[in-house]
Every structure is written in C-alpha cells, then in structure tokens.
Amino acid sequence: MFPIRRLVEILKVPPETIRTWERRYRIFAPSRTTSGQRRYSPNDLEVAIKLRNYLDEGMGIKDATHEIRMSDFPLLESAQKGIPWDDLLGTALLAIRDFDQKTLDFVFSKAFSQFPEDTVMHRLVVPLFQTLGDNWNKHPTGIAEEHFARVYCLAKLGSYYNTCVLDARGKPVLVTTIPGEQHELGLLLFCLALTSQGYRPVYAGPNLPLSQCRLIIEKTNSVGIVLSGRKESLTAPEISCLADLVSDASVPVFIGGVTSERCRNELGMIGVIALGEKFVEAIRIINDELKQ
C-alpha cells in the first residue's frame, strides 16, 4: 500500500490533484489508516498512471475518466474487497431504526466519497430498501422507518444531483420513467452516473406523461430519452404509447430496468433501445447510439 506522497513522486502531480481525482471523479478509493491517512493499492496506482497517460496525450479529464470506466480496467477492485458493505448496511439500518440522520448521513457520505453511483446503488441502496421492505411490519415503527429513509435518500441524492448537474456541460438527455411508475431513487442515481460520464441529464421525475416528452426535447435540445421501468410485462396500450413516442420523437428512445430485460423483443419491434439493468452497460449503449 502506498502513501499519497509516493503517488506524487511517481505521477509528478501535486497531492491536491490526486485528491480531486479521488473525490470528484471517483476512479479509485484508497483505504485509510487508523489516523486517517490515505493508503493506495497497486491497482489504485495503475489506474492513476493510466489516467495521467491519457491526460498527457491531450485528452480532457472527463473523457479520460470515461475511457477508464468504460474499459475492462479493474477499477476499485481492491477497494471493493476492503470496504465493509455489510457493516455500512447494518449501521444504516440501525440509524434508521433510531431515526438518527447524522449517522445515516455519515454512511452515505462515506460510500459516495469512495465509489461510483452504480456500486452504491447495488451494494447499499437496494439492499437497504429491500431489508426495510421485508421488515416494515416487524417493527413497531417499521412504516415510519421506511418513510424516514426514503425522505432522507431523496433529499441526499437530490442535493448531490443538483450540485453535479450545475457543472455538467455535456449533451442533454431527458430522464423519466414509463407512466405509472414512481422509483425516483434509481432515477436520481442514474442521473448522477450520466453526469459522471459527461452528459447533462434533464431529470423530469417519475411518472411523466409520454406525450410531454417531445416538447421537453424541443425546449432543452435533448439528444435522447431514457425511460426506466420495473414492470415485467407491458400491455398493448402501453406498447402503443411507446411506439407513438418513438414515432413523434426526433431522438433515440431508451428503456432501462427490469422492463428492458423482460420485454426486450417487444421493445425492439417498435424501435425502443433496451439498456438492461446495469448502469455501466446502459451508458455504454447510450454512448454507442449517440456517438458520445
């Protein structure tokens, strides 16, 4: 494990730059000593060297981090093995049971400071709400606990998203759900993932009437529409509504989530591009279609 001064010597950059790569672009996640000092793994060093080489070739920082994330580079492998996800989840659940927002904020800040949105989504947010959903009728305050967690997460992710989107200068992409769905947490996390890959999400919230998408595209110059769906099947009227959207929109229409996996054939027949459930693969498909 390397201290930050060793990376400074190898990369010939100031420590502030390395800390910026870590905090803002989250391409690696050093461990910490008991005194709080950073310790970087050989994998972290390899990622940093790859990034520095891209920058030396004249590539911008966002393009460089995008190339690294989209490659098969073993990003965060050592850090993911080292971080105690079960401990973080357990601490978050205890904080929610005690309605302790300060401790809950510590858990989420720790996770987001070290890992991409996709990792936090699948290793913390999804298990957290699955557990809360399983236990809502087993605790005297189970329903209140789930409501407390949802309000906190929406506020936390919303604040984080608003900060990130203000700095976003990339292509605008409209993001919403298929009509009738309300999964706002996943949408916000995906918007954060889009901003980290150089896009500027136009987040319209869940359950948007698809008839309004065309007007939003015209006003925002969005280059694509990304819908999210959890339904395992689509009715004939829903498929017809999506077909109308594809026909009316002047940009590609994408669908991610469970619906994109279970209804892939029907969606393909009407021209909707299925993204699957994984953020990284979804953004790869969007990049290929939009030539990002």
> Which range among 113-117, 151-155, 288-292 shows the weakest confidence by mean pLDDT?
113-117
- The CATH number of residue 8's host domain is 1.10.1660.10
8 Å CB contact between 1 and 79: no
Q: Are residues 33 and 137 in the same domain?
A: no
Q: Are residues 123 and 66 in the same domain?
A: no
Q: Is the pLDDT of residue 75 over 60?
A: no
The Cα–Cα gap between 283 and 199 comes to 10
Q: Are residues 40 and 9 in the same domain?
A: yes
Q: Are residues 122 and 220 in the same domain?
A: no
> Which range among 71-85, 108-122, 185-199, 254-268 shows the weakest confidence by mean pLDDT?
71-85
Strands 38-39 and 200-203: unpaired
8 Å CB contact between 222 and 249: no
Q: Are residues 68 and 14 in the same domain?
A: yes
Q: Which residues constitute the domain of residue 107? A: 83-162
> Which range among 58-72, 75-89, 161-175, 197-211 shows the weakest confidence by mean pLDDT?
75-89
Domain boundary among 41, 62, 80: 80
Our count of domains for the chain comes to 3
Tell me the pLDDT of the chain averaged across its residues: 85
Q: Are residues 145 and 250 in the same domain?
A: no
Domain boundary among 111, 141, 162: 162
Sign of the dihedral through C-alpha 101, 107, 110, 112: negative
Sign of the dihedral through C-alpha 57, 74, 185, 272: positive
